[in-house]
Amino acid sequence: MGSILETLGIEPRFILISLVGFLILLFVLSKFAFGPLVRTLQARQDKIRGDLDDAQARRDEMVALQRDYETRLATIEDEARNKIQAAVKEAQSARDEILARAHTDAQAIVLRGQEEAASERSKSLVEARNQIVDLATLMARQSARENLSAAGQTGLIDDAIAKIGAQTSMGSAR
């Protein structure tokens, strides 16, 4: 091998010196250049990992908050729906109660009207009887006074009927 190196013009001692110089350069660079560079890269990598972990934690927190919000919203919607249904039931109950009360009041008004009509009819009948009695009494008196013939009695009765008609029409006008 020595002859090949001499043929090429390469001296083994320069290779050895170059190799030692390269190793020394490598040691110096690793001590002063590569070490800080690797530490800087490692710190940057750790920072990026931390940022990614924080972002994931925030995302997880956001998802949990969103689920919580959706749960609360569903609960609020259920409560609102239940309150609306309760209000509708209460309104229907109040409506039914008002209708029942109105029906009862209407029946009472109709009954009072019927009672008043019956009372007025009885008063009218009593008044008519009293008028007939008064008229019959009047006719009997006149008949007794005049002792009339059959034609005179017929005229007296016609006269009494005309008076009854006049009194009835005046009683209706009142």
Residue for token pair 């008519």: 128
Instruction: Report the mean per-residue pLDDT for the chain.
Output: 85
- Cα 42 from Cα 49, distance rounded (Å): 10
Beta-carbon contacts of 152 under 8 Å, excluding residues fewer than 6 positions away, are 146
Closest CA to 136 of 159, 170, 160, 112: 160
pLDDT at residue 151 is higher than 70: no
Residue 2 banded pLDDT, cuts 50, 70, 90: low
State the total domains in the chain. 1
pLDDT at residue 3 is higher than 60: yes
pLDDT tens digit sequence for 60-111: 999 999 999 999 999 999 999 999 999 999 999 999 999 999 999 999 999 9
pLDDT at residue 155 is higher than 80: no
Q: What is the pTM of this model?
A: 0.41
Mean predicted confidence (pLDDT) in 119-134: 87
Domain interval for residue 116:
2-173
